[in-house]
Amino acid sequence: MASKLDSLEQWVHDVAAMTRPATIHWCDGSDTEYRALVQQMLQSGDLIELNQQTHPGCYLHRSSPSDVARVEHLTFVCTRDEADAGPNNHWMAPAEAHAKMDALFDGCMEGRTMYVIPYCMGPIDSPLSRCGVEITDSPYVVANMRTMTRMGAAALARIEREGRFVKGLHSTGELDPERRFIMHFPEELSIRSYGSGYGGNALLGKKCHALRIASHQARSEGWLAEHMLIVGIENPQGQTHYIAAAFPSACGKTNLAMLIPPEGYRKEGWRVWTVGDDICWMRPGADGRLYAINPEAGFFGVAPGTSDSSNPNALASIARDTIFTNVAVTADNQPWWEGLPGTPVTDWQGRPYDPANGPAAHPNSRFTVSARQCPTWSPKAEDAQGVPISAIVFGGRRPSLLPLVMEARDWTHGVLMGAAMGSETTAAATGAVGVLRRDSMAMKPFCGYHYGDYFTHWLSLDQPGAKLPKIFHVNWFRKGKDGKFMWPGFGENLRVLEWMIQRVEGNAAGVQTPIGTLPAQGELKLDGLNLPRETLAELLEVDTAGWQTELHAIGEYLDSFAPRLPARLRQEQQRVAQALETPASPRKAANA
């Protein structure tokens, strides 16, 4: 009888015939294998040993200076019908893409080892999890995939049971920016990436599989694959609400996922549990609620800005057994980036540090670490059934207009909030920084199909009997006339999450406005927070004229997805726009 691994073995054979490696290594995910890989990379210079007294098991990797971030303009979704990829993706015909990649992969592994990485995204025994196999010639990728996924023998056993997996083929090639492509074939459940060693382009289980391919799978199978953190908020009574939140890259997802409550909350007994910091897969459960897993097993976090004041839990997580990428180094060989105490002597490119060369650490420098090392890691992250989601939060960097928090009227309004999300661009993607762009559900770089169909899929979850989470929008990044942030953020964000939980439990009335429900006077707990009354008033202000302009811009943005834009979403945009035209009585909100 044929084994269900026959198709995998045949694919590996075919790839080897094309790439012509010197040797083939099937990864088992063991400690012994990892140690051997580290030793090999230390000898080759791919890794640099850091101070083993202060950072045991920690190493530094320096990527090519031209290979430091995702390359969205070289990332393609290759569907048979161009319209299925949508205006939110770059498209290439599958036959053309395969021919282009075949030419690049031809003989590209000569003299190299070809690694075969079986992996599982999500708890190994969860029905919500999905498996994949990445073939790569990069030992750095193998080491990172071991941390970021459930990699090795257990994943291979599940693949043999199920007989299905996502195929990912990767080679660093020559690291030539002119010969670099990341191709996705959703209808084939396959990925081909060439010419980059950077995480988002090379760790194919991450954005490529867990979002672009998985979003396509999720649509056909009735679930959601989202660019969201998952955090548990436990109140003093011991009840835990789980919240999924979407923010564009480098907008504080990791900080929120590892939030440390303000002192007053800690004394009362509030606790925060980290389930995931980047990706969330949600599926309707038998009881009508959405249940979520974190498909990843580790954190691939942005280092700059991670400090004892901003995210002590992240800092504690990466004190050992961590791979750092493109950070600076101190005189005693400790990893360093802007925001940490101390002084760098060597920058991210290995040059003597000179401020004239720019930041010491690359703005998109990273750390790769097991999620289990986080002090707030939740054992529920391994629950096969996932955790029930009470609230979904959208947010972005908006210096004005968007209030601190608002709740959607219903699921359709919430989908509109997510679709309308806007944020200033960051260093996590190549291109200009500080430009406002719409980034629906923070999925613009990651949705593997047409955004119009994606919005339709979100709306389709609103079925009879569904007990869907409440949807909120937050803006931690509102700025005052002095250009400074008005809300302190970080741990203080728990005050806003508490209000959301009160709304979920029916214990806060809120104030109805045309744009959603905002906190009523006294509903945001501000004890111990030095926040002037007029600042709170501005944070919760509804600027009618500004919102009318915003709704018009949202309408134009939505129209860019016609004719596949769901009519229900356009109608919701028009409903909010009309509500803003109707004179309202003065609201008694938290600023009253």
Binding annotation for GTP: 250-255, 366, 397, 490-493
Question: Any idea which residue has 């980034």 for tokens?
Answer: 439
Round to whole Å and give the CA distance between 259 and 265: 12
Closest by CA position to 406, among listed 590, 556, 576, 540? 540
Could you list the residues known to form a binding site, using ranges: 70, 198-200, 207, 227, 249-255, 278, 364-366, 397, 490-493
Which of the residues 27, 78, 108, 251 is marked catalytic?
251
Round to whole Å and give the CA distance between 440 and 248: 9
- Helix (H) or strand (E) segment spanning residue 494: helix 494-505
Round to whole Å and give the CA distance between 335 and 314: 14
Round to whole Å and give the CA distance between 154 and 55: 30
Round to whole Å and give the CA distance between 342 and 326: 17
Task: Tell me whether residue 251 is one of the annotated catalytic residues.
Answer: yes
Round to whole Å and give the CA distance between 205 and 165: 11
Cβ atoms within 10 Å of 429's Cβ, excluding its own: 21
Could you list the residues known to form a binding site for Mn(2+), using ranges: 207, 227, 278
Helix axes of 451-460 and 567-581: crossing angle, nearest 10 degrees: 80
Q: What is the DSSP string of 432-490?
A: -SS-EEE-GGG-TTT--S-HHHHHHHHHHT--TT--PPEEEEE-TT-B-TTSSBSS--G
Q: 449 and 561 in contact (C-beta within 8 Å)?
A: no
Token pair listed for 100: 């282009």
Torsion of CA 307, 35, 70, 459, to 10 degrees: -80
Active site residues: 251
